[in-house]
């Protein structure tokens, strides 16, 4: 077929009339045909092991095995699993569950080293101080706090505190600070823990229980509403109590502070001049209790 204006070849195909010729094809070797005219050609993948580097098609041979999984195509085989640490965990490559019985020796599995999950009653029956120290260092939440309180061996406790106070783990540092509450550094650690609302309630309650610095308790009462009442209950300093009674945004903390105030001049000032009517009433009632 002749093209009236002469062929305008684009590789193997005329752009004017559509005629094809058997030259200058644009082969897609993976699909076995010319992308332009559809002419067939032998299929020739560019194999990189089990995967064609051109089209991405897979074949079940020449895998690049890394344990139970092929790192190139993702195929999984049921052999050479790369175990997670726990007997009751997951295979690291294929994520299939692994369920094998633990072999308990005390509170640790002799095979995987996992810490046993124990109940309140089981904890109360523990007498081995080394195991109690292990729980105090590695358990979570309430179990860890209770184990810490049960630790009576002086040398184990001192070593544990030394390790924990130097730890980067914030819970470690807080629990250690509860056992060394007299140092200013420990008090600062405890106060920062109480203020951090991302920490667990268990660890924050433990921290407020060990906090004694009157200034830090006053700051918590004024700025940390969840623990304002608990902090105020521990304050005895009349100047700090007066500040809370006058300036704290938490009504609970302010009422607690007023109930603990004994300075009649401060109470009279609150009763006569405070902008919040209820605080004036609370201060007046406190004055009556004191015979003012």
Structure tokens at 207: 């921290």
**Structural domain harbouring 254:** 237-292
| Residues 258 and 267 sit within 8 Å (Cβ to Cβ) | yes
pLDDT tens for the chain, residues 1 to 292: 577 778 888 888 988 888 888 888 887 878 888 888 888 887 788 888 889 888 888 888 888 887 777 888 878 887 776 665 567 665 555 656 666 788 888 889 887 788 888 888 888 899 999 998 898 888 877 788 788 888 888 788 777 777 776 677 777 777 777 776 677 778 888 888 888 888 888 888 888 888 999 999 999 988 888 898 889 999 999 999 999 999 888 888 898 899 999 999 999 999 999 989 999 999 999 999 988 6
Residues 206 and 247 in one domain: no
| Domain co-membership, 173 together with 252 | no
187 shares its domain with 242:
no
Cα separations (Å) of 33 from 29, 36, 37, 39, 40?
7, 9, 8, 5, 4
Query: 10 Å Cβ neighbour count for 203?
Result: 20
Q: At what angle do helices 277-289 and 264-273 cross, to 10 degrees?
A: 150
Residues 229, 250: Cα–Cα separation, whole Å = 8
User: CA–CA separation, 222 vs 198, rounded Å?
Assistant: 19
Rama region for 56: left / alpha / beta (φ>0; ψ in -120 to 50; rest): left
- Residue 131 covered by a domain: yes
189 lies in the same domain as 257: no
207 and 243 fall within a common domain: no
Domain limit, last residue, from 176, 195, 212: 212
Domains held by the chain: number: 2
Strands 27-28 and 33-34, by their bridges, are antiparallel
Half-sphere exposure of 63 (CA within 13 A, CB side): 15
For the record, the structure tokens of 117 come out as: 């999950």
Q: Among residues 197, 212, 227, which one ends one of the domains? A: 212
Phi-psi region of 63 (alpha: psi -120 to 50; beta: other; left: phi over 0): beta
Instruction: Please report whether residue 25 resides in a domain.
Output: no
Same domain, 206 and 248: no
């Amino acid at each position: 077929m002749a093209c009236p204006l002469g062929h305008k070849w684009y590789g193997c195909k005329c752009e004017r009339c559509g005629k094809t010729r058997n030259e200058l094809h644009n082969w897609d070797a993976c699909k076995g045909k010319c992308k332009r005219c559809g002419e067939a050609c032998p299929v020739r993948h560019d194999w990189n092991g089990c995967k064609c580097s051109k089209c991405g098609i897979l074949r079940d041979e020449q895998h690049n095995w890394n344990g139970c999984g092929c790192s190139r195509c993702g195929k999984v085989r049921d052999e050479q699993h790369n175990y997670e640490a726990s007997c009751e965990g997951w295979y690291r490559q294929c994520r299939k569950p692994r369920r094998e019985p633990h072999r308990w020796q005390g509170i640790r599995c002799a095979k995987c080293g996992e810490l046993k999950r124990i109940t309140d009653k089981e904890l109360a029956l523990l007498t081995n101080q080394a195991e109690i120290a292990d729980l105090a260092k590695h358990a979570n939440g309430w179990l860890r706090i209770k184990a810490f309180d049960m630790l009576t061996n002086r040398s184990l406790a001192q070593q544990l505190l030394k390790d924990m106070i130097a730890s980067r783990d914030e819970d470690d540092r807080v629990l250690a600070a509860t056992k060394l509450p007299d140092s200013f550094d420990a008090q600062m650690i405890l106060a920062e823990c109480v203020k951090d609302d991302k920490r667990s309630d268990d660890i924050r309650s433990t921290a407020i229980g060990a906090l004694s610095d009157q200034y830090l308790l006053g700051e918590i009462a004024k700025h940390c509403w969840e623990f304002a009442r608990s902090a105020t209950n521990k304050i005895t300093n009349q100047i700090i109590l007066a500040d809370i009674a006058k300036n704290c945004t938490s009504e609970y903390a302010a009422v607690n502070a007023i109930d603990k105030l004994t300075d009649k001049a401060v109470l009279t000032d609150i009763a006569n001049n405070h902008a919040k009517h209820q605080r004036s009433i609370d201060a007046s009632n406190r004055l009556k209790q004191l015979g003012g």
